[in-house]
Amino acid sequence: MQTKKPVILIVDDVPKNIQVLGTLLAKFKCELAVAMNGQQALDTVEKVKPDLILLDVMMPIMDGHETCRRLKSNESTKDIPVIFLSAKTETEDIVEGFKLGAVDYVTKPFIGKELVARVQTHLTLRQTQQTLSEEVHSKNKFFSIMSHDLRGAFGIITNFVQLIQEGGDFLTNEEKDELLNDIQTTSTNTLELLENLLKWARSQTGAIKFSPENLKLTCLFDEIQRNHTSIAQAKDISILNSERDELAVYGDRNMILLIIRNLVSNAIKFTNKGGQISLIAQKADDNMIKVVVADTGVGISPDKVGQLFSIESKTTSNGTANEQGHGLGLVLCKEFVKINNGDIGIISEPDKGTQVWFTLPSNKPEE
């Protein structure tokens, strides 16, 4: 995936200074923007949202101090790091720059290597800050979704139990059985959600032990078939093991089983009665093995495929027999595939089925 180039805004009223800075910063893989005074800088920031600003202090129309003050008072620009470049070397001038919110202060004439090193440091800090901020935002939204799903599930169970307790004399045996079946289904789905949530949380903290070994896929497929037979038969769905080549992978057995188990469970949910699910293994490039869980189900619309592995996307829907889904399974699959040095993706078309694939090393990776 191509990484977005950082944008550095140079603000200086002397063209020669801009030229020198541009030459120095050409060593970075970055985009450069230029402004000749503070007002131009504020206008430019609104358009390009730079990752770092190199700001001269003494300029016409609006000086660097006032420019920085306005940047830091604006919610949308207050987090952009500012490095002052100034010929003012008095301690009070430097202190004033930091009070205004600058992350660094470089005096003119500056040493080229020193300036480049400082720019590199603050770009790295900026990238780290943005990454952490995005992760915190995603996980906060994720836990908000999970808490909503859990409250909803327990609310359903509580309401059904209360209905049975209070309306026992008025409900037929068939109605009671239906309510009990709904309670069982909801409880099973909620337990699956909790188990996946706990495993995902442990994977984020590094608490899950990674114990890779050589594994035969046909053995893993056989185990998945046995464990899902009763659930599949309830919808008259057949699970086929298409692995006949005795292909082996190098990975953590429990993680790989969890990945396949989640994918097969999803396939069962979104396949109509009488459908078919195939477990496929094939050689891929670069000593990798490709595992595919293919179904003849309802498929996925193109606008949702790209969101299915995102922790903050709420793209779940009920299965063909109204089975509830929570979406965490695919997020967990992505985490575990990554831990096992593989990749994962989806090929799907509405009403024509879905193929979820992931890759695993065929041998222990060279260190």
Q: Which CATH number goes with the domain that contains 232?
A: 3.30.565.10
**The last residue of a domain, from among 92, 110, 128:** 110
Per-residue pLDDT, 248: 92
- Domain boundary among the residues 90, 110, 130 is at 110
The CATH number given to whatever domain includes residue 65 is: 3.40.50.2300
Closest by CA to 230, choosing from 197, 204, 192, 268, is 268
Which residue from 218, 8, 27 is spatially nearest to 112, judged by alpha carbons? 27
The rounded distance, in Å, linking the Cα atoms of 232 and 225 is 9
362 belongs to a structural domain: yes
The Cα–Cα gap between 175 and 164 comes to: 9
Q: In terms of residue numbers, what domain contains 45?
A: 7-110
> Do 221 and 357 sit in the same domain of this protein?
yes
Amino acid code (one letter) for 149: D
- CA gap 53, 70 in Å, rounded: 13
* Helix, coil or strand: residue 37: coil
Low-confidence ranges of the chain (pLDDT < 50): 1-2
| Burial 26-55, CB ≥16 within 10 A → b, else e | eebebebbbbbbbbbbbebbeeeebbbbbb
In a domain, 197, yes or no: no
What's the pLDDT score for residue 319?
60
Q: Of 59, 82, 110, which marks where a domain is finished?
A: 110
User: Into how many domains does the chain fold?
Assistant: 2
In a domain, 94, yes or no: yes
Task: Evaluate the omega torsion of the peptide bond into residue 109 and state whether it is cis, within 30 degrees of 0.
Answer: yes
- The answer on 366 and 251 residing in a single domain is yes
Whether residue 274 lies inside any domain: the answer is: yes
Note the pLDDT of residue 1.
Answer: 40
Quote the CA–CA distance of 183 and 159 in Å, as a whole number: 10
